[in-house]
Amino acid sequence: MVKKLKRLQVVLLILAFFSVSYAEEIESKIFLDYLDCFRYMAENNHLGTEEANICKLAAESSVDRYFQENSGEIILVFKLNYFKGRYSTIRGAQNNGPYYIFLEADDCFEYIGRMEGNSYQKDNSNGKMTFSTTWHVSSNESIESIYEYDDGVFKHLSKALYQYSPDGLKSKIRVYDTN
């Protein structure tokens, strides 16, 4: 039984690594409205582009808006959900999944990147907007990533696997390459 649990934990870590290590070459994608943004995100999550699916995705998802003080830019962070029963088909039972990042302009939205995790926090440091995400791996492990938005560029800075002891201490187990 213990051997099967260890094997399952290794499989989960491998799946989490490949899911979280999503790296895409960002080419500028411009959208005229929210509907176009959701159509793009629906396609990326294999939901199809039927209007009913896009509207369901938009209704069940959420968006946070952040104002970048030094540049006056507005950053949108979309947390996607598409429920079938109790769980989101995009985020699953652990709530792990994508966050899509768009830059809002006067007459359009520009896709600038994507984060992964089940939660995130935003901070401002040295005039740069930073985000930290957590990806749930198991009851005592998680993958944490740091992203940064500065001067029109969204980048994945770091990613590491952490283990938590019963007394609440956090230990870094592995550092992943984000390139």
Give per-residue pLDDT as tens, 122-166: 998 788 999 999 999 999 999 999 999 988 899 999 999 999 999
Looking at the domain assignment, is residue 1 inside a domain?
no
pLDDT digits (tens, 9 = 90+) for 18-75: 444 444 445 669 999 999 999 999 999 999 999 999 999 999 999 999 998 888 899 9
Would you say 66 and 74 are in contact if contact means Cβ atoms under 8 Å apart?
yes
Average confidence (pLDDT) over 93-118? 95
Global pTM exceeds 0.95: no
Domain extent for 95: 27-176
Cβ atoms of 134 and 119 closer than 8 Å? yes
| Residue carrying structure tokens 């159509």 | 39
Q: Does 105 fall in a domain? A: yes
- The answer to whether position 104 is within a domain reads yes
Identity at 131, one-letter amino acid code: F
d(CA 153, CA 118) in angstroms, rounded, equals 23
pLDDT at site 17: 47
Asked if residue 109 belongs to a domain, the reply is yes
Map 119-153 to HEC letters.
EEEEEEECCEEEEEEEEEEECCEEEEEEEEEECCE
For the chain, the farthest-separated pair of C-alpha atoms sits apart, in whole angstroms, at 58
Beta partners for 103? Answer: 75, 110
Q: According to the 3-state scheme, what is the secondary structure of 35-94?
A: HHHHHHHHHHCCCCCCHHHHHHHHHHCEEEEEEECCCCEEEEEEECCCEECCEECCCCCC
Asked, for residue 9, whether it belongs to a domain, the answer is: no
Number of domains the chain is built from: 1
